A = this chain, B = another copy of it.
Amino acid sequence: MEFDPAERPVDPSRNPPRYPVDHVGIAVRSIEESAPLFEILTGERASPRQSLPEHGIDVCFIGSVELLEPHDRGGAVGRFLQAGGSRLHHVAFRVENVRGELDRLVAAGFRSIDRAPRPGAHGGLVAFLHPRGTGGALVELVEPARPLSAP
C-alpha cells in the first residue's frame, strides 16, 4: 500500500534538541574496510585515520559517524568487538560546556568514566558517562573546539 506523504502529521513538539547528537561511534574490525561503506552511505569523505595510542584505537570520521578500530584485543574497544562484532559503540551529544554538564550530571547521580574533561579526537573537550547510569548506552559529551554559534 502506498503511503501518501500529504497525510503525514507534523509533530509540533519536534524542536531542535538542546542536546544535538554530535556523532555516533561504531566499533569496527577494520577502518580500511568499513570507511568506504560509510562514504557511499553518507556521501561524505572519510577523514585521515588518527591514532589515539592512549585509548589503543585508531579513529576515522565520516560525517556524523566515528569508526573505532582497536589496536589489539585487550583494550576497551577490542573487548567490545570480541563480545559482539562490529556494532554501535557510543552516542556523543554536543554541549556548550562539558565541564559544567559533567558536574551537573554527576550531581544528579550519573556515573562518569572521566573525572574531568579531556581532549577528544577533533580538538574538542570530551567526557564519557558510564552505561550503568544511562540505562545501557555509553554516552559521550563533546564540547566542540569551535563555538556553537560560529558560522
Across-interface contacts of A88 in B (CB, < 8 A): 24, 87-91, 136-138
Point out the residue from B47, B91, B118, B131 that lies within 8 Å of A24, measured CB to CB.
B91
For A13, A89, A134, the residue with the greatest tally of chain B CB atoms inside 10 Å of its CB is A134
Q: Mark A6-48, 1 if CB is under 8 A from B, else 0.
A: 0011110110011111011011100001100110111110010
How many subunits of this chain does the assembly comprise? 2
Shortest CB-to-CB span from A31 to chain B, Å, is 10
Return chain B residues, CB-CB under 8 Å to A26.
Answer: 91, 135-137
Interface residues of A in 103-150 (CB under 8 A from B): 105, 108, 110, 117-119, 122-125, 129, 131, 133-139, 144-146
Q: How many of A's residues come within 8 Å of B, CB to CB?
A: 63
What is the minimal beta-carbon distance from A14 to any residue of chain B, in angstroms?
6
Question: Closest residue to A37 on the B side, CB-wise?
Answer: B135
Q: Determine the residue in chain B with the shortest Cβ distance to A43.
A: B18
